[in-house]
């Protein structure tokens, strides 16, 4: 049976200083972390096991009770990159297809079982989740059959349409044997594979998608979660919010404390953080507060 690999070893530099205290995959999206959402999606697809790699702030990762799935941690003493992380975890992954999911990707509409089925039917060694775009646009170009023919400025066939690779894919055990011990899945596996005449199939996806690599994107993911659940705010049970505070389009994570008087509007409070109202458009951690600028989705 296929197994999942969730890539969580990165440094989360675009979210600093918030990621100085909490790894990016452990950032909250509504009532749970991004990683917990991924593992629930994996479990819904029928997979029973997952491997999560970790390097930066690895001691922060606790997989107990995150999802109805058997999750194992693959610790990397040195950061190995997305390809190297997958290679390093080979003894834990077995000899079947692997659903690879970047730990900072929140795709609540994705039916991962359909992606796995499409990969099994494709006869390709690798299937990428891709958001369709017009010809010449996006991070990849596709031929008439939906195979990748443009990647990082290189061309491997006639392009019929474009798309954006969304950081989720299914890879075969055969192709995993070509993984470098250190390096990037795109630059150090996909490009050489295409250069040798190999194929990468794609699965079109037009649903909601959030890459939570920036404060704006993290806030947008939380606003989308609130909208989907019909809520104006989410407050974890283990929080303290003073009586004069109004929570509006806000997520308050476990162990957080909210003091002061007035409105918290479009704020995400990380686990264990303290914040004082009034405050708007911010992400607040235990040791950092980041103002969110730029457009965000409306609830």
Q: Indicate whether 77 belongs to any domain.
A: yes
Same domain? For 152 and 274 the reply is no
Q: Indicate whether 277 belongs to any domain.
A: yes
Task: Look up the CATH number of the domain holding residue 147.
Answer: 3.90.550.10
CA distance 194 to 191: 5
DSSP state of 186: I
Q: Indicate whether 297 belongs to any domain.
A: no
Q: Indicate whether 299 belongs to any domain.
A: no
Same domain? For 148 and 275 the reply is no
- pLDDT for 296 equals 59
By residue range, what is the domain housing residue 231? 214-291
Same domain? For 50 and 183 the reply is yes
Q: Indicate whether 39 belongs to any domain.
A: yes
- Specify the 3-state DSSP secondary structure of 124: coil
Whose tokens are 């690779």? That residue is 165
Same domain? For 194 and 254 the reply is no
Final residue of a domain: which of 190, 210, 230?
A: 210
- Angle ∠(164,156,147) on CA atoms, nearest 5: 50
Same domain? For 12 and 33 the reply is yes
Q: How many domains does the chain have?
A: 2
Same domain? For 22 and 153 the reply is yes
- Angle ∠(26,32,37) on CA atoms, nearest 5: 80
C-alpha distance from residue 103 to each of 10, 44, 213, 229 (Å) = 9, 17, 10, 22
Same domain? For 159 and 259 the reply is no
What is the pLDDT tens value at each position of the chain, 299 positions in all?
899 999 999 888 899 999 999 999 999 999 999 999 999 999 999 999 999 999 988 788 887 766 678 899 999 999 899 999 999 999 999 999 999 999 999 999 999 999 999 999 999 999 999 999 999 999 999 999 999 999 999 999 999 999 999 999 999 999 999 999 999 999 999 999 999 999 999 999 999 999 999 999 999 999 999 999 999 999 999 999 999 999 999 999 999 999 999 999 999 999 999 999 999 999 999 999 999 986 555 44
Same domain? For 234 and 188 the reply is no
- Beta partners for residue 257, in sequence order: 240, 274
Same domain? For 97 and 200 the reply is yes
201 closest CA partner among 130, 251, 285, 137: 130
Same domain? For 265 and 132 the reply is no
Q: Indicate whether 195 belongs to any domain.
A: yes
CA distance 80 to 76: 7
- pLDDT for 299 equals 43
Q: Indicate whether 296 belongs to any domain.
A: no
CA distance 181 to 210: 29
Q: Which residues contact 19 (CB under 8 A, 6 or more apart)?
A: 11, 12, 13, 56, 57
Question: What's the token pair of residue 32?
Answer: 């749970």
Final residue of a domain: which of 158, 187, 210?
A: 210
Same domain? For 192 and 240 the reply is no
Same domain? For 256 and 111 the reply is no
Q: Indicate whether 196 belongs to any domain.
A: yes
Final residue of a domain: which of 193, 210, 227?
A: 210
- pLDDT for 295 equals 56
Whose tokens are 């031929």? That residue is 143
């Amino acid at each position: 049976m296929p197994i999942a690999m969730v890539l969580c070893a990165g440094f989360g530099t675009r979210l600093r200083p918030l990621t100085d205290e909490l790894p990016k995959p452990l950032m909250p999206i509504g009532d749970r972390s991004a990683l917990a959402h991924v593992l629930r999606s994996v479990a819904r697809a029928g997979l029973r096991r997952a491997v999560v790699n970790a390097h930066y702030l690895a001691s922060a990762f606790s997989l107990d009770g995150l999802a109805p799935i058997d999750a194992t941690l693959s610790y990397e003493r040195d950061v190995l990159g997305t390809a190297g992380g997958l290679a390093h975890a080979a003894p834990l992954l077995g000899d079947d297809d692997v659903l690879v999911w970047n730990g900072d990707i929140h795709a609540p509409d994705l039916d991962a079982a359909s992606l796995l089925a499409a990969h099994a039917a494709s006869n390709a060694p690798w299937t990428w989740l891709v958001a369709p775009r017009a010809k010449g646009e996006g991070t990849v170009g596709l031929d008439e059959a939906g195979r990748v023919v443009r990647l990082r400025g290189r061309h491997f066939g006639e392009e019929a349409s474009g798309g954006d690779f969304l950081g989720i894919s299914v890879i075969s055990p055969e192709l995993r044997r070509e993984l470098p011990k250190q390096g990037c899945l795109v630059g150090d596996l996909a490009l050489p594979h295409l250069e040798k005449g190999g194929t990468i199939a794609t699965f079109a996806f037009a649903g909601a998608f959030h890459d939570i690599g920036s404060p704006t994107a993290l806030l947008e993911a939380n606003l989308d979660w609130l909208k989907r659940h019909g809520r104006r705010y989410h407050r974890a049970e283990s929080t303290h919010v003073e009586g004069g505070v109004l929570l509006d389009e806000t997520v308050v994570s476990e162990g957080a404390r909210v003091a002061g008087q007035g409105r918290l509007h479009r704020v995400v409070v990380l686990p264990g953080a303290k914040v004082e109202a009034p405050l708007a458009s911010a992400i607040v951690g235990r040791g950092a507060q980041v103002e969110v600028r730029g457009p965000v989705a409306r609830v």
